[in-house]
Every structure is written in structure tokens, then in C-alpha cells.
Amino acid sequence: MSAVISTDICIIGAGPVGLFAVFEAGLLKLRCHVVDALPQPGGQLSE
């Protein structure tokens, strides 16, 4: 069974721009959920 996640923003991709979007949303007190295909953040920079 899947759980319902309550967020303000869903960010697709945990690369540099996605992580910056999470940072900016946090400054605005918005709740974020990040979806990425890779197991670690950083996008292609982490490979």
C-alpha cells in the first residue's frame, strides 16, 4: 500500500538545479518532495 505524501512542491531531479530549488523552497517554508532516478543526490555530477 502506498502512503499519501503531503507537499507543496514536487521537484523532479536531484541535480544541481533541483537541489537549489529545494533550498529556495525551504527559504519560503514550502514542503518539498524530490524524485530522482539515481540513488544519491547530485545528478550526473555524482557519477
Q: Where are the domains of the chain?
A: 9-46
- For cell 527559504, name the residue: 27
Q: What pLDDT, on the 0 to 100 scale, is given for residue 3?
A: 87
CA angle in degrees (0–180, nearest 5) for 29-15-23: 15
Write the pLDDT tens digit of every residue in 6-47: 999 999 999 999 999 999 999 999 999 999 998 888 887 776
Tell me the pTM: 0.79
Within the chain, residue ranges assigned H as helices are 16-27
